[in-house]
Amino acid sequence: MNQDEKYHLLQERFGHNDFRQKQEEAVDSILAKQDLLMILPTGGGKSLAFQLPTLMMSGTTVVISPLIALMQDQVHALNAQKMDAEMLSSMQSREESEMIINDLIYGNVKFLYLSPERLNTPRMQQILSQIEINFFVIDEAHCISEWGHEFREDYRALSQLRERFPSVNIAAFTATATPHVRDDILRLLNLETPKVLQGTIFRENLKIRVKHRNGEGKEQLLELLRRYPNQSGIIYTSSRKKTQSLSQYLNAQGYKTLAYHAGLPHQERSDVYHAFVYDEVQIVVATIAFGMGIDKSNIRFVVHMSLPKTVENYYQEMGRAGRDGDDAEVLLLYSAADMVQQKHFIDQIQDAVHNRHALDKLNAIYRYCSSETCRHQMIAKYFEDDILTCKSHCDNCTEDKKERKDITVQAQKLLSTIYKTSQMFGKNYIIDILRGSKEQKILANHHDELSVYGIGEELSKKQWFVIVDRLLEVGAIDFNEHKGLILSQEGVLILKGKSILEIDVSRLQVKESKMKKIINEVFDFNSDLFEKLRILRSVIAKENSIPAYIVFADKTLKEMARDVPQTKEEMLAINGVGAKKLEQYGEQFIALIKSLK
């Protein structure tokens, strides 16, 4: 193995002086023709781990990827860096496909991207048997496990790769895998004495906040967006309808957003994806259909407007922020109603084992949300990684110690009202009785004559909703099939005074978050120069029809705005500027910096 060549390529082609965690081990494993499973958080540098060894080997690397949009972006990025890459998919005409196949057979393609469906066709198998394959890459490898969060049936056929190509090593990559899923990947891909590399779960540049959602959460969302003007972000919602309505709302507030969900026509989805990746729009409001493997490094925030389905989903989705290594923020807004809704969907699963599995995963993400311990530590523990508390990168570690309040009396008032109305009505109706409402339905039912009528006027309607949420959290109440509130055994104990109920005081108050302002304080740079460098980057990107981050990442531009390089030697000292990019774009950035000095 030529160590000099390896480090030369790392600097010249990728612009880095050193490898990140586990990268060099992965590169060396591939070069040694050893099977590999690499589990590394989004933004950890999995792509370099297989791209660099390809440049040191003869033959073609075949990359199996689940999404056409993802493959298109990666092929575009490789070609922009003067690496010969192609994809074969339904997007190409027959003539285009034949030209690519011809180049492939003649050894003119270093990276070939395929979907698992295309890989498994007889025609593709015949083509692959005619070329020199140096190794296979399985991207998003967790999709092969039915116990993962994004299981795909077509990934199962990848288990035949070892049988069809016994002498070709396989490198599998994923950002998320529980021990169960990891073992599934190893078994189903038939990896032989593989090198297993697992990076730490901790993403030190991500600041995590989890809050109970106030109403629809719009004010909480706007509070975050005001801190990130003109920055890229993803906002996840629970339904197609909500993506549209929230996008329209934010556009009316002056933000440039687009909605994305699986129900949109294919071309419209592609247009939204393209607009976001190319910085033509700052924010995408989307369902979870958007984003798997999205190749965009400068996403500064990710917001969940409701409870994610699993910790795996959440970790993968939040991991789309800050892939460039610069500071980014993730916010999760949730309520107990989210839990009830997702339980309803799980109840539809007929298989008892899968039903229990889904419920366990849902309970895990809910425990994470309601926990008062370090967020990063809880996520790491879920994936059986052992880390210290983050101390400064999540709300639970940066906010003051939460003050507890005994709300047993208020809970008894609400529980009594549910009981006295025969456990038939929803939360709005119950709260209206407590607050002494003159609603016609209450009067018609003679519920204004109940002893509980008007005994809850000391709390606002929003505060009573919080009490309902808290009772749902501890399992004191539940919903019947008609969304009416019903008491559980725990609820009966509270009602009889045999169990107490406490709540974090802040949930009953409307106040600003106390999270320390730590975003962008560590990295001091000239913000005016940074904006001018971003404009130049955008112009260059459009001229070359490539995403802006392919030219230089935000973090690289911030280093330029801090260090103000005015020679080629000074520019090469900037992290993310290699010899190749210096040759392509360096002089334009140096000229701009000199003109502004």
Structure tokens belonging to residue 538: 């955008």
| Topology classification of domain 404-508 | Arc Repressor Mutant, subunit A (1.10.10)
**Nearest alpha carbon to residue 15 among 564, 574, 554:** 574
Percentage of the chain modeled with pLDDT above 90: 48
Higher pLDDT, 372 or 490: 490
Q: Which residues contact 496 (CB under 8 A, 6 or more apart)?
A: none
Higher pLDDT, 517 or 422: 422
Q: Is 527-596 the same fold as 404-508?
A: no
Is the per-residue pLDDT at 364 higher than 80? yes
Is the per-residue pLDDT at 191 higher than 70? yes
Cα–Cα distances (Å) from 584 to 51, 80, 243, 278, 551, in that order, read 20, 10, 39, 19, 9
How many Å apart are CA 174 and CA 407, to the nearest integer?
A: 45
**Average pLDDT for residues 238-265, to the nearest whole number?**
93
Is the per-residue pLDDT at 522 higher than 60? no
pLDDT band at residue 300 using 50, 70 and 90 as cut-offs: very high
How many Å apart are CA 183 and CA 186, to the nearest integer?
A: 5
**Average pLDDT for residues 77-94, to the nearest whole number?**
86
Radius of gyration of the chain (CA): 27
SS3 content of the chain, % helix, strand, coil (to 5): 50, 15, 40
Is the per-residue pLDDT at 518 higher than 70? no
How many Å apart are CA 70 and CA 93, to the nearest integer?
A: 19
**Cα dihedral: 207, 212, 213, 214 (round 10):** -120
Q: What is the DSSP letter of 394?
A: B
Strand order in the sheet with 257-260: 206-212, 328-334, 299-304, 232-236, 283-286, 257-260
How many Å apart are CA 463 and CA 507, to the nearest integer?
A: 8
Place of tokens 């507890």: 404
How many Å apart are CA 400 and CA 296, to the nearest integer?
A: 35
Q: Provide the phi-psi class of 244: left if phi over 0, else alpha when psi is between -120 and 50, else beta.
A: alpha
Which pLDDT score is estimated for 519? Answer: 34
Among 296-300, 310-314, 330-334, 568-572, top mean pLDDT goes to 330-334
417, with CB counted inside 10 A (0-12, 13-18, 19+), is buried
* β-bridge partners, 87: 113
Cα–Cα distances (Å) from 297 to 100, 293, 320, in that order, read 29, 11, 8
Is the per-residue pLDDT at 511 higher than 70? no
How many Å apart are CA 80 and CA 544, to the nearest integer?
A: 8
Residue 313, classed as helix, strand or coil, is helix
| Topology classification of domain 527-596 | DNA polymerase; domain 1 (1.10.150)
**Count of residues in the chain:** 597
**Nearest alpha carbon to residue 548 among 536, 561, 562, 531:** 536
Residue 550, classed as helix, strand or coil, is helix
pLDDT band at residue 31 using 50, 70 and 90 as cut-offs: very high
CB 389 within 8 A of CB 371: no
CB 402 within 8 A of CB 506: yes
Structure tokens belonging to residue 232: 């890229």
Write the single-letter amino acid at 512. Answer: E
Taking CA 122 as the corner, what is the angle to CA 118 and CA 126, rounded to the nearest 5 degrees? 100
Count other C-beta atoms under 10 Å from residue 244's C-beta.
17
Looking at the domain that runs over 206-398, which CATH code has it been given? Answer: 3.40.50.300
CB 346 within 8 A of CB 309: no
Strand order in the sheet with 111-114: 85-88, 111-114, 60-64, 133-138, 169-174, 36-39, 195-198
Range in 144-158, 200-214, 528-542 with the lowest mean pLDDT: 144-158
Q: Which residues contact 12 (CB under 8 A, 6 or more apart)?
A: 578, 579, 580
Higher pLDDT, 46 or 500: 500
Domain ranges of the chain: 3-198, 206-398, 404-508, 527-596
How many Å apart are CA 501 and CA 240, to the nearest integer?
A: 37
How many Å apart are CA 338 and CA 471, to the nearest integer?
A: 14
Which pLDDT score is estimated for 72? Answer: 80
**Nearest alpha carbon to residue 275 among 256, 292, 288:** 256
How many Å apart are CA 486 and CA 421, to the nearest integer?
A: 10
pLDDT in tens, 448-490: 999 999 999 999 998 998 899 888 877 799 888 777 899 999 9
**Average pLDDT for residues 501-507, to the nearest whole number?**
84
Is the per-residue pLDDT at 344 higher than 70? yes
How many Å apart are CA 443 and CA 259, to the nearest integer?
A: 43
Higher pLDDT, 456 or 16: 456
Pairing of strands 133-138, 169-174: parallel
Which backbone phi and psi does 113 adopt, to 5 degrees?
A: -100, 130
CATH assignment of 3-198, among 3.30.2290.10, 3.30.70.260, 3.40.50.300, 1.10.10.60: 3.40.50.300
Which pLDDT score is estimated for 149? Answer: 60
Biggest alpha carbon–alpha carbon distance for the chain? 88
Which pLDDT score is estimated for 150? Answer: 64
Which pLDDT score is estimated for 316? Answer: 86
Count other C-beta atoms under 10 Å from residue 204's C-beta.
13
Which pLDDT score is estimated for 140? Answer: 87
pLDDT band at residue 293 using 50, 70 and 90 as cut-offs: low
How many Å apart are CA 448 and CA 453, to the nearest integer?
A: 6
pLDDT band at residue 301 using 50, 70 and 90 as cut-offs: very high
pLDDT band at residue 291 using 50, 70 and 90 as cut-offs: low
Place of tokens 């999270």: 515
Higher pLDDT, 355 or 597: 355
- Half-sphere exposure of residue 403, counting CA atoms within 13 Å on the CB side? 5
Which pLDDT score is estimated for 224? Answer: 97
Is the per-residue pLDDT at 517 higher than 70? no
Which backbone phi and psi does 472 adopt, to 5 degrees?
A: -65, -40
Higher pLDDT, 180 or 284: 284
Summary mean pLDDT of the chain? 88
How many Å apart are CA 363 and CA 459, to the nearest integer?
A: 30
Structure tokens belonging to residue 150: 């994004």
Range in 176-180, 272-276, 484-488 with the lowest mean pLDDT: 176-180
Which pLDDT score is estimated for 512? Answer: 34
